[in-house]
Structure 1
Amino acid sequence: MVVSSNNPHHKEIAIRKRIASIFNKCEEDFPSLREYNDYLEEVEDMTFNLIQGTDVAAIEAKIANYQEENAEQIMVNRARKAEELAAAVAASKGHPAQTDNDTTASQSSQAGFGAGSQGQYAPTFAGGQPRPTGLAPQPLPLGGDIHGYPADDEEVMRLRAERGGRAGGWSIELSKKRALEEAFGSIWIF
């Protein structure tokens, strides 16, 4: 693949995206950290040479050979990364984290990675078995807020505010000390 762009940064980004989508193994795919680091170094060397235009034909041949030999693992790793991304998106929206692979797969389709619409089935990449691609909408609990958590009374809200302040390094003593320093610092003696 030849990327034609006047901006060298766009060319580099396009090459890095392409290489990362093909050479997408993670540390768990290797028996040792050393072998994983060697893999990363080899991938970075190829990426750098493609960006610089060095030995492009040989690198493209190597990439094509790798794609042919590892097509199934590449697709499985792409699906895994999509599921991880979907789980992260769901977690950032306040949905509880779920570890079940089928549930994670359904979350990935809700985030736009699945082929079917909500509540339908779509085939997996490698296994050929159907995978659920959506969750049925859940009713809100009575007495709860829109996030599904129970409504808090005043005492719980006060405790959360107090604990949140302490987590950020705030304390009542610090607040009193600062108020006194500001008060006495503003007194002028003539």
Structure 2
Amino acid sequence: MVVTSSNPHNKEIVVRKRIASIFNKREEDFPSLKEYNDYLEEVEDMTFNLIDGIDVPAIEAKIAKYQEENAEQIMINRARKAEELAAALAASKGHPAQNDTDAALSQGSQAGFGTGTQGQYAPTVAGQPRPTGMGPQPLPLGGGHDMHGYAVDDEEMIKLRAERGGRAGGWSVEISRKRALEEAFSSIWVS
């Protein structure tokens, strides 16, 4: 497959996506780190040559041969990546997907939003533990907390946030007042 595009950046993106979907082995698929690094270097050389149009027919033949010889491994790695993305998406929505590997990885940790203790804000990727055992976590400034643990602001804090937010956006009372007066006087018709 020869990619021709008027924008070289788009061509690079298309080529890199295509190559990454075919040459999708991971470090754990190799007996040593050196062999994995050699694999990555070879893939990057092929990618670079395809982008620059160097020896394209030979590289395409090499890609076709690799796809034929490693079709099963390519499909397994694509499926594994899809499962990991689905688990991460489910975790980000607050519904941790618990299969055998996820359960083993996240045992003793929370995966997702809203499942941690009060004050822990950082979402985690499935399998990545949150810090625990560090005592009480800091709470956001403001009033008390509602039944879900979210801060409930009192009236003074709401006014303060509105004022600071407006100023951060470039709004001020003076500008608002001046604009209102200009609009009012511009609508007066004098004959």
Asked if the contact 2:50/2:56 (under 8 Å) is kept, the reply is yes
- Give the aligned partner of residue 39 of structure 2: 39
Give the whole-Å Cα distance in 2 for the aligned partners of 1:5 and 1:57: 18
- Give the aligned partner of residue 91 of structure 1: 91
- Give the aligned partner of residue 74 of structure 1: 74
Q: Structure 1 counterpart of 2:63, which letter?
A: I
1:101 deviation in Å? 6.2
Normalised TM-score (structure 1): 0.55
Normalised TM-score (structure 2): 0.54
Q: Tell me, what secondary structure is at the counterpart of 2:138?
A: helix
- Whose Rg is larger? 2
Give the whole-Å Cα distance in 2 for the aligned partners of 1:101 and 1:32: 23
Asked if the contact 2:46/2:59 (under 8 Å) is kept, the reply is yes
1:93 deviation in Å? 1.1
- Give the aligned partner of residue 164 of structure 1: 138
Give the whole-Å Cα distance in 2 for the aligned partners of 1:15 and 1:160: 41
Q: Structure 1 counterpart of 2:83, which letter?
A: E
Gaps of at least 5 residues in structure 1 are 104-146, 150-155, 167-190
Give the whole-Å Cα distance in 1 for the aligned partners of 2:12 and 2:59: 15
1:2 deviation in Å? 1.3
1:164 deviation in Å? 3.1
- Give the aligned partner of residue 188 of structure 1: none
Indicate how the Cα distance of structure 1 residues 56 and 98 shifts in structure 2: closer, same or farther if over 3 A, else same. same
- Give the aligned partner of residue 147 of structure 2: none
Aligned residues: 117
Give the whole-Å Cα distance in 2 for the aligned partners of 1:11 and 1:28: 30
Q: Structure 2 counterpart of 1:91, which letter?
A: A
- Give the aligned partner of residue 132 of structure 1: none
1:64 equivalent in alignment to 2:64: yes
Q: Structure 2 counterpart of 1:40, which letter?
A: L
1:165 deviation in Å? 4.0
Indicate how the Cα distance of structure 1 residues 160 and 21 shifts in structure 2: closer, same or farther if over 3 A, else same. closer
Percent identity (aligned): 76
Q: Tell me, what secondary structure is at the counterpart of 1:164?
A: coil
Give the whole-Å Cα distance in 1 for the aligned partners of 2:78 and 2:102: 16
Runs of 4+ in 1 over 4 A off after TM superposition: 159-162
